[in-house]
């Protein structure tokens, strides 16, 4: 199996789990945050829902300037207006990511991708490694953060990679 196909399969599997987790957000708690410096549930949901679409940028940008690109991304980060809005953003984002990956081959995953700060190079990694760390691991990190928010608001946490305290991974 080609590496690109493995990424698409992982995206599809994790998207189902992420969607199930987003669907648990209580509509009446979208403005809740565990701390003044934390994202609200609506902000976190919007971030999680739209992360997969970053593959489109990562597939086409030859570099990422941490001085300008981070601010542009933060400024354009959507906030979910409702749980349904988060689910719709998620579905669109996953579809965009799948389309971007479908247009690539394993050779594209090996291409170098540069991170810069202005004219200074911060680092270079293969595009496939970028997808793994900046997209997938980042996505999973925030999904885990969402499960903590759910627990703190009294919502049952879904089984993700195994049983949760509230739900078996493989119900009988």
Task: For residue 160, tell me if it sits in a domain.
Answer: no
- Annotation-wise, does 141 bind a ligand? no
Contacts 24+ apart (CB under 8 A), 25-28: 25/83, 25/86, 25/146, 25/150, 25/155, 26/153, 26/155, 27/82, 27/83
Task: For residue 80, tell me if it sits in a domain.
Answer: yes
Assess whether pLDDT exceeds 70 at residue 74: no
Count: domains in the chain: 1
- Annotation-wise, does 35 bind a ligand? no
Task: For residue 17, tell me if it sits in a domain.
Answer: yes
Compute the average pLDDT of residues 42-70: 87
Cα distance between residue 39 and residue 78, in whole Å: 12
Assess whether pLDDT exceeds 90 at residue 7: yes
Neighbours of 87 (CB within 10 A): 17
Task: For residue 141, tell me if it sits in a domain.
Answer: yes
- Whichever domain contains 85, its CATH number is 1.20.120.450
């Amino acid at each position: 199996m080609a590496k690109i196909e493995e990424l698409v399969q992982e995206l599809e599997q994790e998207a189902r789990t992420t969607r199930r987790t987003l669907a648990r957000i209580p509509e009446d708690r979208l403005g809740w945050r565990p701390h003044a410096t934390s994202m609200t549930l609506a902000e976190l949901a919007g971030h999680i829902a739209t992360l997969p679409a970053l593959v489109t940028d990562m597939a086409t940008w030859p570099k990422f300037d941490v001085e300008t690109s981070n601010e542009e991304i933060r400024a354009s980060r959507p906030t979910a207006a409702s749980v349904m809005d988060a689910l719709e953003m998620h579905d669109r984002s996953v579809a965009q990511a799948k389309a971007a990956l479908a247009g690539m081959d394993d050779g594209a995953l090996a291409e170098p991708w540069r991170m810069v700060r202005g004219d200074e190079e911060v680092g270079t990694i293969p595009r496939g490694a970028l997808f793994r760390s900046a997209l997938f691991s980042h996505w999973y990190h925030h999904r885990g953060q969402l499960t903590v928010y759910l627990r703190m608001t009294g919502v049952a946490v879904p089984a993700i990679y195994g049983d949760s305290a509230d739900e078996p991974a493989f119900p009988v």
